[in-house]
Chain A
Amino acid sequence: MKRVAETLTVLVLGILVGALVMALWGRDPWSSYASLLSGALGNTRALMSTLSRSLGLVLTGLTFAVGVRAGLFNIGAQGQMLLGAVVALSCGLLRLPPGLHLVAALALSGLAGMAWALPVAALKLTRGVNEVISTIMLNWVAHWLVLYLVIQKLSDPILGQRTFTVPPGMRFPVIRGELTWALVLALATALFFWWFLWHHAKGYEIRAAGLNPRAATAAGISVKKAMTTALLLGGVAAAWAGAIQVLGRFPYAITSDLANLGNLGFDGIAVALIGRNHPLGILAGAFFFGTLATGAAKMGLRGIPIDMIYIVQGVIVVFMAAPEALRLVRLRRPAAKAKEVAR
């Protein structure tokens, strides 16, 4: 309850500061906000578009959150997402019956995400390499690798600005408008993460290891295994975020500038922070983020300066993410905490 009140407070603060920015820009903040909202939620089509945009954010948000639960600062979702997208796309080259084709693409894409998380775990646990460093490096490797594949190997022979499109039998069926059944995948994954963390022994161990590794170790929990599990699960979720961009959204391909994959992986960090690293909060956070993104795109179409929109969006997100980010920083100083408690 306290957290909800806190979230609403920072939301209002963010909106006010955003309004200030727009006012300084010489724009009327309230009409701009109104057009943002109507652009994102004003009608069924807009709403479906917003929802569809949110799904990938749910998944990358989960990646970051499960890392935090294990005591990790895992920012590798971006690379895993890119890789997941390209693997899902490549499955379009296989000849498989409809339905099964989709399942196979998801399975292979998830495996690719795991494979991209594995070195992070291995380096951390055998060599003590901080996951922030290794994930940043792997993100770049994935970026250039995927870019190469998209441009050199998978591009559409006629339309150079994107890859070939995946066959219809491999796509998520449409529910309505832009929204496809990828919705179910995102929701089910969030539900699974919640269940796993709070109802499964391994999830309990992840949370214990993340909150107090010393106590967890003393209790016979392998912190290394817990971290590895969290990294691998996160890899799957991030890869699926990429996969559903390809299998569940127009243009069912990857654009040559990777723009339709965007910064999903990094945005997931903000989503997780807004959602307090809880799967339910992440659903809300992703929807909120999706609303801003869709609304901003629509505002841009109405001739409102895109830079301003990004700034306002950024301000609101920073405000929303700040409380949890601060908590994380504080939690990461165990010495200070122990001292405080010991008195």
Chain B
Amino acid sequence: MADNALLEARGIAKVYPDGTVALRGVDLVVRPGEVHGLLGENGAGKTTLTKIISGLLPPTSGEIRWRGKRVRFSSPREALRAGIGMVHQHFALVGPFTGLENIALGEEGGGALSPVHVASVRRRVEAIMRESGLEAPLDVPVEDLPVGVQQRVEILKMLYREVDLLILDEPTAVLTPQEAEELFSVLRGLAAQGRSVIFITHKLAEVTAVTDRVTVLRRGEVVATRETPGSTAEELARLMVGEELPPPRARAERAPGREVLRLEGFTVPGPAGKPAVQGVSFSVREGEILGIAGVQGNGQTELVEALVGLRPWSGHAELLGKDLAGRGPGEIASLGLAHIPEDRHGMGLILEFNLAENAILGRLRPFLDPLGRLRWGKVYRFARELISRFSIQAPGPRVPVRYLSGGNQQRLVVGRELSKAPKLLIANQPTRGLDVAATRYIRDLLLRLRDEGMAILLVSADLDEVLELSDRVAVMYRGTFAGVLSREEFDRERIGLLMGGVREAG
């Protein structure tokens, strides 16, 4: 047994009921007072491991020791009582309740929301906020708070319960760079008080920025545990991915061509009468990538859905000089627009259909004879072509796409959309949830298409992605463009401030 361990997990394995093997015997030791990074690609098993530690999932095998004693938590509540708290990617907050009420709600016993009790909770939470430097408004319904602030309420909830081990599952995914910096200093402060943190991420820079030690997971196995000082980003990347990736594609110098998409005063109604997109104007030209950065939930989804014809909107929009008003998705697509939706499963694919059937979704006409009959021979030939051209790992064109990995599903979507020979490609979160190799593939492909003259509108909550690919970046905040920067003006800090709603002066 390792000495000086707060938490020790040995040989943790997890097989999900559907047969997915998520963990194959994982060891993890967390010391008191350390920020312990858990690094791994999407699907490596990070969330599963921490759900087991925090009592949300039972392990299939393996044991957990907490302060030296063998434990088996049967619920998150039990783990919390012992001092382990987890902040999930999807928060567990009650929307209409204030931050303070949410914090008080978690407590056991009746009368959690009685005025006397709430007042005493307020005093303690205020003390915790002063001590930790983690500030959040306590009297606003949490659903009115930006996600980054909601996250702080979640963390405060855990600190209020006096956890000794705080687990954060990809916390920076919903933060601006500045907010992430603030979070890091909060975490370092906690560690200095002797508390421990498990910090989950798939971003190398964050590991080096905040962790003391790091455990790298790959396909359900631990490949290494390292002291962070002394490990290089290259080394960690190699451990995480397990292979060397070719360097990213260099972007060609190229002047943008004619205007393909133009929006003026584009407004999309949102829920409760408030517009989700408010009077946005921009254009996208041939041979350029316009990136839209921003914390998710600031109107990006509505903007894209309206553009492709799935939502009503007002204002002016034209594609290659043709007014888009009043046109449905099919018609807009036929004008030369292709769309990689953010929600692959809900909108991009029909999971029960096989690969070939999905390959022609939205583009049936070339595969029909004059009587409207499907020419399956041609369909399957086309599907095989996509498989080889876009390196889709699949047993064949007849496999239901449900059984493909996320990366291969996305290659299929991308391949299909490009087969429409679009003039404008809208890529919404094109690499979300993909592993490193698939991410690289998609990004390189987008750059190549741009070099070849396609107009691309890229929407991504991943600032690194936007900065790497875009020729110009628009930052979206609460339904408007907080600023549009050209490549020379790219500056993480400045964009981060815009993402957080800090307006440019002048």
The chain A residues found within 8 Å of chain B, CB to CB, are 199-202, 204-205, 207-208, 211-212, 214-222, 338, 341-342
Contact A218 B374, CB 8 Å, known A204-B357, A212-B350: no
15 contacts between A and B (CB under 8 A): A199-B373, A201-B373, A204-B364, A205-B364, A211-B350, A212-B346, A215-B349, A216-B361, A218-B310, A219-B330, A219-B361, A219-B362, A220-B334, A222-B330, A338-B345
Q: Does B352 contact A (CB under 8 A)?
A: yes
In the complex, what distance in Å separates the CA atom of A19 from the CA atom of B178?
71
Q: B350–A208 contact, CB under 8 A?
A: yes
**CB neighbours of A216 from chain B (8 A):** 350, 361
Chain A residues touching B, majority SS = helix
> What residues of B have a CB within 8 angstroms of the CB of A211 in the complex?
350-353
Question: Complex: how many Å from CA A218 to CA B372?
Answer: 21
Q: Scoring B residues 283 to 326 as 1 if CB is less than 8 Å from chain A, else 0, what string do you get?
A: 00000000000000000000000001010000000000000000
| In contact, A220 and B330 (Cβ under 8 angstroms) | yes
Q: Find chain A residues with CB under 8 A from B364 CB.
A: 201, 204-205
- Which chain B positions have C-beta within 8 A of A208? 350, 353, 361
* Chain B residues within an 8 Å CB radius of A215: 346-350, 361
From A202, A221, A338, B372 is in contact (CB under 8 Å) with A202
Cβ of B421 within 8 Å of any chain A Cβ, yes or no, is no
Q: Given the known A-B contacts A204-B364, A212-B350, A221-B330, are A341 and B374 also in contact in the complex, defined by CB atoms under 8 Å?
A: no
Q: Determine which of A199, A219, A342 lies in contact with B329 in the assembled complex, contact meaning CB atoms within 8 Å.
A: A219
Given contacts A218-B308, A222-B330, A341-B351, 12 further A-B contacts (CB under 8 A): A199-B373, A201-B374, A202-B372, A207-B353, A212-B349, A212-B350, A215-B348, A218-B362, A219-B362, A220-B328, A220-B333, A220-B362
CB distance from A337 to the nearest CB of B (A): 9
Q: How far is the CB of A208 from chain B (nearest CB, A)?
A: 6
Q: Using Cβ atoms and an 8 Å threshold, which residues of chain A touch B374?
A: 199-201, 204
Residue in A202, A208, A211, A222 whose Cβ sees the most chain B Cβ within 10 Å: A208
Bound Cα distance from A218 to B428, whole angstroms: 14
| B353 proximity list for chain A (CB < 8 A) | 207-208, 211
The 8 Å CB contact of B339, one of A204, A212, A218, A342, is: A218
Q: Which of B334-381 contact A (CB under 8 A)?
A: 334, 339, 341, 345-353, 357, 361-362, 364, 368, 372-374, 376
Nearest-CB distance from B181 to chain A (Å)? 29
Q: Which of B328, B330, B346, B348 has the most CB of A within 10 A?
A: B346
Contact of B489 with A by CB under 8 A: no
Given contacts A201-B364, A201-B372, whether A217 and B350 have CB atoms under 8 Å apart is no
B331 on the A face (CB < 8 A)? yes
